[in-house]
Amino acid sequence: MTKLIYLSDTYLANLNTKFKHELIDDIGIALLIDQTIFYPQGGGQPSDVGYIKSENTTFKVTSVRLNELGLVLHYGEYIEGEFTEGEQVNLSIDFDKRILNARVHSAGHLLDCAVSSLKLAHLKPTKGFHFPEGPYVEYAGILENKNDWIDTIQEKINDLVKENIQISNYSLSFDEAAQKNIWAPPGKSARVVDFEGFEGCGCGGTHVMSSSEIGVVNIRKIKVKKGVTRIAYSIK
């Protein structure tokens, strides 16, 4: 199992650790590392990209995945050399992309906060797409007169950004998570992301430290179809 350093520090861009071994699967060459700062794609958020280097070897990381065994697979290509088992390596992520992805992800959660503040209790969040290209949050339930709500939600999310709401995370045991209807892997803990003053939710993604760091959030459009309401947004 890979130790997931990114869960505790969004802002850590470099890490020295040990190379374990590589494998080749249908996707390509994957490196296994003792611990990682690379976020693996999942939860509607894209993976980090960057480099793994030693004195004589450089590997460009273009995609990252987390498998069912808890191993993080760093996919990409060797630029020069090859690693040996147990070798000390340096991990470096593209920090600008990391922070952009974290801001987009946090904006999706802040949108949930805005919706709950407006007493739209019949809308239940079910899915989030937090890629910088076309992010949105989907809700089970129908928002009547959807276009009339765009300005209202926009005003509320503007206020929440200005309030500089603190964002934190904590862990719940499997039993504690079950009591709160938060999913956790069988027998393992759940990570909860908490926007101060709002109910926390289970999330394994990266986030900024406060709502003001998200920047400007624009509510682009609201779409309602087959009992699902999709609220699309962007940031700048």
- Ranges of each domain in the chain: 3-93, 98-235
**157 has a pLDDT exceeding 90:** yes
% of the chain with per-residue pLDDT over 70: 100
- Of 122, 124, 126, 141, the closest CA to residue 227 belongs to 141
Beta-carbon contacts of residue 109 (< 8 Å; ≥ 6 apart): 167, 193, 195, 201, 203, 207
Q: Tell me the mean pLDDT in the region 221-227.
A: 97
Residue type present at position 176: E
Beta-carbon contacts of residue 100 (< 8 Å; ≥ 6 apart): 132
What integer pLDDT is reported at residue 137 of this predicted model?
A: 98
Residues forming a β-bridge with 107: none
Q: Are 228 and 119 in contact (CB under 8 A)?
A: no
pLDDT bin (cut points 50, 70, 90) of residue 215 is: very high
**Torsion angle (degrees, nearest 10) of CA 160, 162, 163, 164:** 100
Query: What is the tens place of the pLDDT at every residue in 13-69?
Result: 999 999 999 999 999 999 999 999 999 999 999 999 999 999 999 999 999 999 988
What is the fold of 3-93?
Elongation Factor Tu (Ef-tu); domain 3 (2.40.30)
Q: Are 212 and 161 in contact (CB under 8 A)?
A: yes
Mean pLDDT of the chain: 95
Q: Which H or E run includes 222?
A: strand 217-225
> Which runs of consecutive H residues, i.e. helices, occur in the chain?
95-117, 146-162, 174-179
Q: Tell me the mean pLDDT in the region 209-229.
A: 98
Beta-carbon contacts of residue 179 (< 8 Å; ≥ 6 apart): none
Site of tokens 């020069």: 80
The whole-angstrom separation of Cα 57 and Cα 85 is: 13
Instruction: Name the phi and psi angles at 124, rounded to 5.
Output: -110, 120
pTM of the shown model:
0.94
Query: What is the tens place of the pLDDT at every residue in 82-92?
Result: 999 999 999 99
DSSP secondary structure letter of residue 214: G
**11 has a pLDDT exceeding 90:** yes
The whole-angstrom separation of Cα 30 and Cα 11 is: 24
pLDDT bin (cut points 50, 70, 90) of residue 194 is: very high
Second-level CATH architecture of 98-235:
2-Layer Sandwich (3.30)
